[in-house]
Each structure stands twice: as C-alpha cells, then as structure tokens.
Structure 1
Amino acid sequence: MGDRAPTALRAESPGACPCGSGQTYAACCGRWHEGHQHLQAPDAEALMRSRYAAFVMQRADYLLATWHASTRPAQLDFEPGLRWLGLEVKRHQPTGADTATVEFVARSKLGGRAHRLHETSRFVREGGQWFYLDGEVG
C-alpha cells in the first residue's frame, strides 16, 4: 500500500460506509444491519466489513447476532473514547463450502495512542447465514 491513505480515511464524506468500501452506508453495510437484507451478508468478507462498521457505530445487537453461538459473549462493552480509523482487508479465502477466513487490519485510536489490530478471522455459514467464529491476532 505504500504511502497511500487507506480507503476508510479518504471516505469521510457524509453517508460513506465506515468499512471503507467507497460506497454509501445504505448500499454497503447498512443493508446487512437492518431492513429486508438484515443478517444476510453474502460472504465472509461482507460480514467482516459489516461487523467492522457495527463496531464503529457501536451496534452491539448486530455484532452479537452475527457471532456464532459457540463463541459469542453474553454481552459487549465498547471502550469509551475509542475511535476507529480504518479497515484494510488483506485476504478473503473460502476454506470450504460453508467456511472462510478473512485477514484484516483495523486501526483505532484511544487516549491519543494509535492501535493496530491484525487478525485472521474464521467464519462459518449455517442455515444460509454467515457467522464470525473466532480470530487469531497476529
């Protein structure tokens, strides 16, 4: 990527999706968050992007609904003052008919300090719906 700013930082126009796709929120992650396509992300990457947007928007309801029951926490607490700065999807790889991994880097800032989360997440599809299973931070 070099010195280029991540898409999410350049996409600060009103209505831009927090996931950095360059689309509007309604055309991108918003359709998975609510409405007639609620919870119907078509693949693991779309689900991961929509989960990032849900973290930005503090949508605990969506995050819990898309977290696999076997690993889902009872509740989510958001870090006060945490600001998400951008998302970079490095790789989306189907690993089976109903499984996939997504490697990403999410950047944030808290208390004036920058943070970088580099994770390879595992996803599973059950009953036609994709779920976040777990992730390996690396």
Structure 2
Amino acid sequence: MRFTSLAVLSILSAVLGTPVQVKRQEVILNGGVVYCKEAGFQGVCVRASRVNNSCNNFDSAFDSQVSSFRPEPQNSISCLLWSDPNCQGTNPGGWISGTGINDLDAFGFGNVASSFQCKNP
C-alpha cells in the first residue's frame, strides 16, 4: 500500500512539475482594413478583407507610404498604427475605428506607418 501511494505521488509530481508551453493563438477578427497611398482613400490602395489580432507589417510597397487608413466594414474592428515594423515606435495617439482617417497628415502620421495591429471593439 505504501509503495502504491509513493508511486502515485511520484507520477503526480512529475506531471504537475512539467512546464507547459502556452502558444499565443492568432484570432481572425470580424473585419478587415483598407489603406491607401493618398489622402481621401485615393491612389493605390489595399483591401485586406480579414486581419488577425497580431501585429501586421506593411509590405515594402506601402511601408512608410500610407496616407489614409480605415477598418472595413465600419466599426467592425479598431486598429492602431505604428511608426516602426513589428508594432514598435510611436503611434498617432489612439485606436482607429468608425470611418477611419482620411488624411493621416492631420495627425502627423502621413507616410509614417510601418505596421498596424487590430482588435475587436
């Protein structure tokens, strides 16, 4: 009986003492984004119909060249722009939602953004 209890305790301590690696899971959000090289959603634009909740870097064609940015459909998600890749550096001061920002120059962020992250509202 004592041996059985000792064996159970040994197995239990081995199982409970084993570290578990928790992997952050990407979540696909309820909306997407539209961003353009010119103010007023003009010029060359990209429409990403689905985005995830992690950091998204702009590709080289749009890195530091975005002048307008919005969630789509309106109010589906909120996004934050970052001046540097991997959601580092500075941001224009708040989450972008609703109709977005027609002219990022008005916030001192025209042709600055290198990455963005979004979340469900």
Greater relative contact order (CA < 8 Å, ≥ 6 in sequence): 2
Whichever of the two has the greater Rg, that structure is 2
Normalised by the size of structure 1, how large is the TM-score?
0.27
Normalised by the size of structure 2, how large is the TM-score?
0.29
- Write 1 or 2 for the structure with the bigger share of strand: 1
